[in-house]
């Protein structure tokens, strides 16, 4: 009995009988559990009567549960039949499924069929050597990663570097030591486990990204619907719109509305930030300035005999109070809003932190209107100034966001206001054709490879006169 308490080597065929005999001598009931000889083979064991367990010798143990482990199928490649037999015996004794190949070409064919979890390949082989086989194996693997161990007698650092460059994960020097081989396989199993967990996580992230992308595509469609018509004619005048988000959705909004044929309101709005939050804010503002439901438009005032446009500065003040009073809203916006009398050509407008509107004269001149103003929704109680100008037949008024003037030029500077004032009169065409050409010319002037970093939007009022 004392001998059975110490570590010793027992053949599995005799193990069950010897344990029962020992237990009977000690007055203990027989061992009921069966010992799986196929699993243990001739593995050294430590026997303990107190615990009544069979424990693999710690010094030579191997990780259990290979049926669920990352490495189950191993391909051994060597031109030596003896080496194949030795390595395969070691691996099979540990419960691994082993396939053999005597050349790199044969191994590649097997890899296509069995997709091994790990490969043990000799470096020096006739024909295709281990390095070339490793490169081709990596190319063939695709998304499923296989752990690759090169067997070699080389120890030179430059040679080891060549092996790593070819795609090898680890090395074993010949002749192969069983304990070292087990350790390398265990290390490979840990790496494969982490790699597969990472792949699974990346797959879940890709699914989540695809779902978000689909939602954003739908959100883009909905936001574009906020500008249902890019061009509208009102008598001899017309209003044209341009909206180019830099992402799926953006924080810019342009539009127009009218309650009669004699006047029109035109606005350009830029919500702070980018993305979904800003896009939601534009949807909210579009509802407050929409032309489809005049009763809900805060820029219009209902009177006994009809509807009037509120003064532009009053519209900015009302918007500011609504946004500033909402504690859950951190975003603010800039705005240029103009009301034009299409009979007289008189225009009243407000500039609330937005780039100054550009007045393009029919005779070729260009001038900016306004000097700034406070953004909307940033400071409670902010006051805004009313600006006035006179348009003549053929004149155009351009409202735009700063995404246009912040376009990067080849010298690293921005287009800026001066660049826009020089470029805008050169653009030909009318209506949406003019806006599209202006946008195209700006992008063509940009630095090579540069992308628009902000949303671009514009509203163009062309006055035709009576």
Domain identity same for 263 and 297 = yes
Contact 159, 188 (CB under 8 A): no
152 assigned to some structural domain = yes
The region of weakest confidence among 165-169, 223-227, 344-348 is 223-227
Domain identity same for 241 and 171 = no
Number of domains in the chain: 3
Burial of 327 (0-12, 13-18, 19+ CB in 10 A): exposed
Structure tokens at 317: 């003040």
CA distance 193 to 39: 23
| Percent of the chain predicted with pLDDT > 70 | 85
208 assigned to some structural domain = no
For 71, the 3-state DSSP assignment is coil
More confident residue, 58 or 140: 140
Domain identity same for 317 and 261 = yes
Q: Specify which residues 239 forms β-bridges with.
A: 232, 461
Domain identity same for 56 and 79 = no
207 assigned to some structural domain = no
The region of weakest confidence among 83-92, 276-285, 383-392, 398-407 is 276-285
**What is the arithmetic mean of pLDDT over 246-265?**
89
Domain identity same for 305 and 418 = yes
**Domain housing 82:** 66-197
209 assigned to some structural domain = no
204 assigned to some structural domain = no
Mean pLDDT of the chain: 84
Model confidence at 47, pLDDT cuts 50, 70, 90, reads very low
- Which pLDDT score, from 0 to 100, does residue 63 have? 47
Say which CATH number the domain at 274 has. Answer: 3.60.40.10
Domain identity same for 34 and 156 = no
pLDDT beyond 70 at 102: yes
CA distance 181 to 185: 6
Domain identity same for 369 and 430 = yes
Model confidence at 50, pLDDT cuts 50, 70, 90, reads very low
pLDDT beyond 50 at 153: yes
- Which pLDDT score, from 0 to 100, does residue 58 have? 36
pLDDT beyond 90 at 397: yes
206 assigned to some structural domain = no
203 assigned to some structural domain = no
Domain identity same for 125 and 175 = yes
More confident residue, 72 or 4: 72
- Which pLDDT score, from 0 to 100, does residue 19 have? 42
Q: What is the largest CA-CA distance in the chain?
A: 121
- Which pLDDT score, from 0 to 100, does residue 261 have? 84
CA distance 426 to 367: 14
**What is the arithmetic mean of pLDDT over 386-390?**
97
Domain identity same for 224 and 338 = yes
210 assigned to some structural domain = no
pLDDT beyond 80 at 199: yes
- Which pLDDT score, from 0 to 100, does residue 249 have? 82
**What is the arithmetic mean of pLDDT over 296-305?**
88
Domain identity same for 136 and 225 = no
The region of weakest confidence among 40-54, 115-129, 161-175 is 40-54
The region of weakest confidence among 118-122, 327-331, 394-398 is 327-331
Q: How many CB atoms lie within 10 A of CB 222?
A: 12
Domain's final residue, options 197, 229, 262: 197
pLDDT beyond 50 at 310: yes
Domain identity same for 321 and 413 = yes
| Percent of the chain predicted with pLDDT > 90 | 60
The region of weakest confidence among 24-28, 242-246, 399-403 is 24-28
Which of 326, 272, 264 shows the shortest CA–CA distance to 289? 264
- Which pLDDT score, from 0 to 100, does residue 452 have? 83
- Phi/psi region, residue 59 (left: phi>0; alpha: psi -120 to 50; beta: rest), is alpha
Domain identity same for 15 and 129 = no
**Whole-Å CA distances, 263 to 234, 302, 312, 351, 395:** 8, 15, 13, 19, 16
- Which pLDDT score, from 0 to 100, does residue 105 have? 93
Model confidence at 56, pLDDT cuts 50, 70, 90, reads very low
- Which pLDDT score, from 0 to 100, does residue 377 have? 93
- Which pLDDT score, from 0 to 100, does residue 142 have? 77
């Amino acid at each position: 009995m004392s001998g059975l308490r110490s570590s010793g080597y027992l053949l599995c065929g005799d193990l069950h009988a010897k344990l029962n005999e020992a237990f009977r001598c000690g007055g203990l009931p027989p061992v009921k559990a069966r010992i799986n000889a196929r699993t243990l083979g001739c593995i050294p064991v430590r026997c303990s009567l107190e615990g009544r367990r069979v424990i693999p010798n710690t010094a030579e143990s191997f990780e259990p549960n290979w049926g669920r482990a990352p490495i189950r199928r191993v391909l051994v490649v060597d031109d030596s039949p003896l080496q194949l037999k030795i390595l395969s015996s070691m691996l099979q004794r540990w419960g691994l499924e082993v396939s053999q190949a005597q050349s790199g070409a044969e191994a590649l064919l097997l890899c296509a069929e069995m997709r091994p979890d790990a490969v043990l390949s000799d470096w020096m082989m006739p024909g295709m050597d281990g390095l070339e086989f490793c490169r081709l194996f990596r190319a063939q693997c695709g998304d499923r990663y296989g752990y690759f161990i090169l067997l070699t007698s080389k120890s030179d650092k430059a040679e080891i570097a060549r092996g790593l460059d070819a795609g090898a994960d680890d090395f074993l020097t010949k002749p192969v030591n069983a304990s070292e081989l087990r350790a390398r396989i265990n290390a490979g199993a840990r790496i494969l486990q982490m790699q597969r967990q990472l792949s699974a996580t990346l797959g879940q992230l890709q699914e989540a990204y695809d779902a978000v992308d689909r939602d954003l595509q739908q959100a883009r469609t909905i936001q574009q619907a906020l500008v249902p018509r890019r061009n509208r004619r009102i008598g001899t005048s017309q209003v044209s719109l341009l909206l180019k988000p830099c992402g799926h959705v953006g924080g810019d909004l342009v539009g127009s509305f009218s309650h009669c044929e004699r006047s029109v309101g035109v606005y350009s709005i830029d919500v702070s930030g980018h993305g979904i939050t800003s896009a939601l804010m534009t949807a909210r503002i579009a509802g407050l300035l929409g032309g489809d439901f005049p009763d809900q438009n805060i820029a219009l005032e209902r009177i006994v005999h009809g509807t009037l446009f509120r003064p532009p500065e009053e519209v900015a003040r009302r918007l500011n109070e609504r946004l500033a009073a909402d504690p859950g809203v951190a975003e603010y916006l800039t705005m240029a809003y103009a009301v034009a009398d299409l009979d007289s050509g008189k225009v009243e407008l407000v500039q609330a932190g937005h780039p100054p509107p550009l007045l393009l004269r029919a005779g070729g001149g260009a001038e900016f209107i306004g000097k700034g103003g406070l953004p909307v929704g940033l400071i409670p109680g902010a006051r805004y100034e009313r600006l006035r100008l006179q348009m003549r037949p053929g004149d155009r008024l351009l409202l735009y966001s700063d995404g246009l003037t912040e376009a990067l030029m080849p010298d690293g500077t921005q287009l800026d206001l001066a660049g826009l004032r020089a470029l805008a009169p050169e653009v030909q065409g009318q209506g949406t054709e003019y806006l599209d050409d202006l946008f195209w010319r700006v992008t063509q002037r940009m630095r090579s490879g540069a992308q628009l970093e902000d949303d671009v939007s514009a509203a163009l009022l062309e006055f035709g006169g009576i």
